[in-house]
Chain A
Amino acid sequence: MRFIYSMLVLFAFFSLSFSLPVGGENVVAGTPVSLGTQSPGTAGAWGGNITQVNLTINSSTLHWQGFYGSVAASLRLASGSEGSVSTLKVWNVSNVSGQIYVSTSSNVDFTTINSSTATLANVDSAFTFLSGANDAAVNTGTNSASPAFNIGQYIVYANTRPFVTTLNSSGSPVWRQVIVRDANTTTATDFVFVGLLNSSGVAYNGAAAHFQVIVPENSAGDAAVTTYYFYGEIQ
């Protein structure tokens, strides 16, 4: 794919007589935006002249999947019917705090989640399709840059874990997430992507949300599918 993009750029530099497809907006990794829906840009050309075109090529990532949502809606534990509903927890929007945990592990071990630090390179090794890619984990976040927070009874100290931000609809990197792991078996199920909740957040598409996280997912071709599991902490 990079080869194709490079060729396109070169072609643009030396082309004299026809319009070029110019991408519109920067694409947030993980958001399912298709370039095919955007209007092509144009550049005028006159014979005998060479016109430089600054070309931006954007691509949908095939290696990350984005999720967003509302905690108050998602964490409601309810039973019963016909107006008789028992509820475990409904957080008022103004009181939303804590984290959302996303993992390919069907049962995260929260008792060991603080025992082993991870690096972005570890993520690339475990999710092999990330290794060497432009959108590899090492190009997505920053090691040892996490804020301090608690997971259950454990304190995750500041600047000890990989930290990733994603954008809201204004393009601001307001969504914060930290990568931890509950084991060190070098497999994908070790990793837990922790989204820090935001009580007044706006997701990439302008929707109100309490969390937004991106997780590795290989969407290239007929790659095997992955199921992610979502957890919240009852506080």
Chain B
Amino acid sequence: MLILSFLFGSGFCTTLILNSQDYSDIISAAAYAKYNNYSYVFALTPNQSVFLSRYYTLDADEPIVYLEGDKPILANMKALLQSSPVKNLNAYSPPNIQFWIADQLSSDQAILVGKQYGQDALSVSSYAALTGSPIFYLDQYGDSDALISGIISRGYSKVILYGPISEQLSPAQLNLIPQRQIIDTGNRYSNNLEITRMFLQKQPSEQVMFVSGHAFEKSMVDLKFPLLLAGRSDIPVQLNNFVSQNSIKTGIVFSGDGDIVDGVNRLKGQNPQMSFFVKFGEGYRGTTQPLPLVIISLPSPQISLEVVNLTYNVPAKLFELRIKNTGDFAAVSAGASISGVGSAQSSQIIMDSGSTTTLSIPLDASAAIDSGKIPSVDVTISYGEDTALMDNIDSITFTEVQTSFYEDTSEVNLTGVTYSSSEKSFIVTFEGQGWVSGTLGFNINNRPVVLRIPITNVDGTTQVKIKHLLSSDEESFIRGIAANYFVRSGQKEDILINEIRGQRQIEVIRVASSPSQTNSILGLDSIYIFAIAILIIGAILVFKFFAGDGGDSFA
């Protein structure tokens, strides 16, 4: 710290040179450099490292801070720098760069992200730079106890838990983290908008940077301009609204971050008053042509689906599209179209990695059946890594589609949603016989919450525990909330036929972690008794409604 303070006072612009293969080191160092107004460089190859070692040491008086991770790009880069004429070189090879950076900063706030979600680290990076907050990375294969212990020992008064990291932390670990602020809205785009709002509150701007979240370039981290995640072929509705509401006039995109090509064009089409600029290169002394930006890939989910087959269920009047998720977690929906008959769309489902399921597409195609088969069906499959934006679209034409006469006799009803403080989980209760999967969404204290219900066999009263972090404020708020949900159910695990979707009141109550608490159910708090009664009555009415006229369902 003393050394760095000396560099501040020297009157030269300090350059931070990072030598690490780890993307988390690269982003953390970028935020740290930006916060300190350092120039920042990193290399992707040994040759680039050699170039940086020579280029940035031409001025012997220029202060250099050299940071080396435990997996450097160039092993002897430190020696190269030390052999240069630079007089103000401070080289560090800490065992853990995120902790080293945290110790250089004096912020009382830290940010915790999942290391497997590169877009989350990128998303918080500018806010981290603006506020001088260190970013910590929770490695799903690492020692989470050591990380939590390291965070706690640094005495932060507030820790922002960003993105879907609740699965990686135990309730005991969570309880150790002080003043948790949770930004986990169920999808990365709305998470990104939340942190961007926080950025703009501190640093208003009419210019933003649009990024895919799949790649990183050092100037994506900035103190003046926040960054917004855009989709590959489309943009989320909430992003478009955000741009309008915040009077964003100018967008910057980055050459090499081409995943957002169509998404940016869509945004440009919807906001013709906006100007877009592309940052495409860097120029160095001695080169007469700009060089490409140094772009690194960030870890992100792999989206890969395999279509198994398509059949038509005659009595149920729907197509059953059987698909397998050969990539990571994916959100999927499908549509079917027959010339002269019509078209229809399935609901959106969530598929875990390696799972196989059947999407049901309700369409009366009886008139198209010829000799027990349907000659031709056009199927469009939309999928993505996020429920908010399924921006991958594939179209397939099936011919000679087989028919089936399977009839669903399952009956599954949603009867309750509670939250357990001690387990940091929602508990969703179903009644009946069959299988169920889907999502359940609602708002708590203006924060959207989306619960993913995995494929579950319901046999009588069945509870599904879904881990989800709530702050203490949110926990005290979770009664009487409006819900927007759909649940898919069926008789077999791989054929989920009945669908319930729409907006109905869902009463979420809190399960007490301790009987002594005044707001405990076991403490017979009159409000909770009333809430439970309302819940039961509401559930009966809701499910009688669905059982009776189907409501918004496709059953």
Q: Is the CB of B207 within 8 A of A219?
A: no
Q: Tell me the minimal C-beta distance from A209 to chain B in angstroms.
A: 9
Using an 8 Å CB-CB cutoff, how does the interface string of B53-95 with A read, 1 for contact, 0 for none? 0011011111000000000000000000000010000000000
Q: Is the CB of A67 within 8 A of B283?
A: yes
B264 / chain A contacts, CB cutoff of 8 Å: 88, 234
Stretch at the interface among B252-260, B383-391, B437-445: B252-260
B262 / chain A contacts, CB cutoff of 8 Å: 86
> Does B290 sit at the interface, judged by CB under 8 A?
yes
How many residues does chain B have at the interface if contact means C-beta atoms less than 8 Å apart?
A: 51
Q: Tell me the minimal C-beta distance from A152 to chain B in angstroms.
A: 3
Contact for B255 among A68, A75, A109, A151, CB less than 8 A: A75
B256 / chain A contacts, CB cutoff of 8 Å: 77
Q: Tell me the minimal C-beta distance from B263 to chain A in angstroms.
A: 10
Q: Is the CB of B280 within 8 A of A225?
A: no
If A102-B283, A227-B283, A230-B290 touch, whether A152 touches B275 (CB-CB below 8 Å) is: yes
Q: Is the CB of A234 within 8 A of B253?
A: yes
> Does A229 sit at the interface, judged by CB under 8 A?
yes
Q: Closest chain A residue to B252 by CB distance?
A: A107
Q: Is the CB of A111 within 8 A of B207?
A: yes
Q: How far is the CA of A232 from the CA of B275 in the complex (A)?
A: 11
> Does B115 sit at the interface, judged by CB under 8 A?
no
Contact for B278 among A32, A75, A106, A227, CB less than 8 A: A75
> Does A79 sit at the interface, judged by CB under 8 A?
yes
> Does A178 sit at the interface, judged by CB under 8 A?
no
If A109-B207, A222-B85 touch, whether A231 touches B258 (CB-CB below 8 Å) is: no
If A86-B258, A88-B264, A223-B59 touch, whether A66 touches B278 (CB-CB below 8 Å) is: no
Q: Is the CB of A152 within 8 A of B261?
A: no
Q: Tell me the minimal C-beta distance from A203 to chain B in angstroms.
A: 8
A/B pair count, beta carbons within 8 Å: 144
> Does B25 sit at the interface, judged by CB under 8 A?
no
Contact for A67 among B13, B268, B289, CB less than 8 A: B289
Q: Is the CB of A88 within 8 A of B58?
A: no
Q: Which of A114-165 contact B (CB under 8 A)?
A: 151-153
How many residues does chain A have at the interface if contact means C-beta atoms less than 8 Å apart?
A: 45
B546 / chain A contacts, CB cutoff of 8 Å: none
Q: Tell me the minimal C-beta distance from B216 to chain A in angstroms.
A: 14
Q: Is the CB of A225 within 8 A of B276?
A: no
Q: How far is the CA of A109 from the CA of B249 in the complex (A)?
A: 11
Contact for A225 among B55, B60, B61, B257, CB less than 8 A: B55
> Does A186 sit at the interface, judged by CB under 8 A?
no
Q: How far is the CA of A234 from the CA of B262 in the complex (A)?
A: 13
Q: Closest chain B residue to A66 by CB distance?
A: B288
Q: Is the CB of B59 within 8 A of A224?
A: yes
Q: Is the CB of A232 within 8 A of B258?
A: no
Question: Given contacts A152-B277, A232-B277, A233-B276, could you give 9 more A-B pairs where the C-beta distance is less than 8 Å?
Answer: A68-B288, A69-B290, A77-B253, A77-B258, A78-B258, A79-B257, A80-B258, A153-B273, A224-B59
Show 6 residue pairs from A and B whose CB-CB distance is below 8 angstroms, ordered by the A residue: A32-B286, A79-B257, A110-B277, A223-B59, A227-B284, A232-B277
